[in-house]
Homo-oligomer: A and B are copies of this chain.
Amino acid sequence: MQTTPGTTDTASPDSAAYAPTDRTIPTRSADRAAYDRETVHAILDEAYVCHLGFVRDGAPVVLPTLYGRVGDRLYVHGSTGSRPLRMARATSEEQDPGLQVCLTVTHVDGLVLARSAFHHSINYRSVVIHGTAHQVTDPEEKRAALDALVDHVVPGRSADSRPANTKELAATAVLSLDLNEVSAKARTGGPNDDPEDMDLPHWAGVVPLRKGHDALIPSEDLAPDIKVPDYLVEL
């Protein structure tokens, strides 16, 4: 079903960029694709949730989940009983077969309203990662991964919360996914109407979607002497 040959460039032409592969070169709108680490990491670090895809009994499954990044490695976590985490464990004598995944992160930045229905679009930034996820068995890496997961939600938070205890660590499984076969894609700007449509009487432009957060909601049982920490004020 592939129309292009296999991996087109395994040697990265630039150490600051991920090498494109057959799976990460888009069939459409190739001009929207990017492979540099700075762009990829910025998109990953700004989002809260990824969509993790894997194959179960031959069918695709896509689940939303939190993640964290440490350098060129992503981590997802879950109960040791959850499906993808069980599937990533060795189910036979085979050592750590891993789990083939596709992990995708998307920001929706704006709604693009064109004069023609056909040119309606959205402004977005996305990252798609293909690879094999492996269970993290090293205790130190597992602790660092869990810190990264908490700090991904709110930078600085892991140092201001009780770390996982032995029981919690045992109940939590962590998967790692190396950033290797990765691409970013983005659309920005206004609508691209056809020249012959420019005089149509329809409003055209962009509806920018709101970012950021509203006022914090403290827990009802929060002790009154606990102030909002700086890392939340700066959020």
Contacts and interface: CB of A to CB of B under 8 A. Distances in A.
Main secondary structure on chain A at its contact with chain B?
Answer: mixed
Contacts of A157: 113, 120
Contacts of A61: 23, 53, 60, 102, 130
Given A58-B55, A106-B51, A217-B205, A64 B126 contact: yes
B161 A114 contact: yes
Interface in A91-129: 91, 100-104, 106, 108, 110-111, 113-118, 120, 122, 124, 126, 128
Contacts of A149: 120
Nearest to A197: B162
A120 B162 CA distance: 11
A204 interface: yes
B53 A168 contact: no
Interface in A208-235: 208-223, 226-229, 232, 235
Can you tell how many copies of this chain the complex includes?
A: 2
A177 interface: no
Nearest to A129: B62
B210 A213 contact: yes
Given A51-B104, A55-B59, 11 more contacts: A27-B82, A49-B122, A66-B122, A111-B154, A113-B153, A113-B161, A113-B232, A116-B161, A120-B150, A154-B207, A207-B235
Interface of A: 1-2, 23, 27-28, 48-49, 51-64, 66, 78-79, 81-83, 86-87, 91, 100-104, 106, 108, 110-111, 113-118, 120, 122, 124, 126, 128, 130, 146-147, 149-150, 153-154, 157-158, 160-165, 168, 172, 190-191, 193, 197-223, 226-229, 232, 235
28 contacts: A1-B56, A1-B86, A2-B57, A51-B64, A53-B62, A53-B102, A55-B58, A60-B101, A61-B130, A62-B102, A62-B103, A110-B217, A113-B154, A113-B157, A115-B161, A117-B150, A117-B161, A118-B164, A120-B150, A162-B202, A193-B219, A198-B221, A201-B226, A203-B222, A203-B226, A205-B219, A206-B217, A210-B211
Closest 9 pairs (CB-CB, A-B): A53-B62, A53-B60, A51-B51, A64-B106, A205-B218, A62-B104, A53-B53, A118-B168, A116-B162
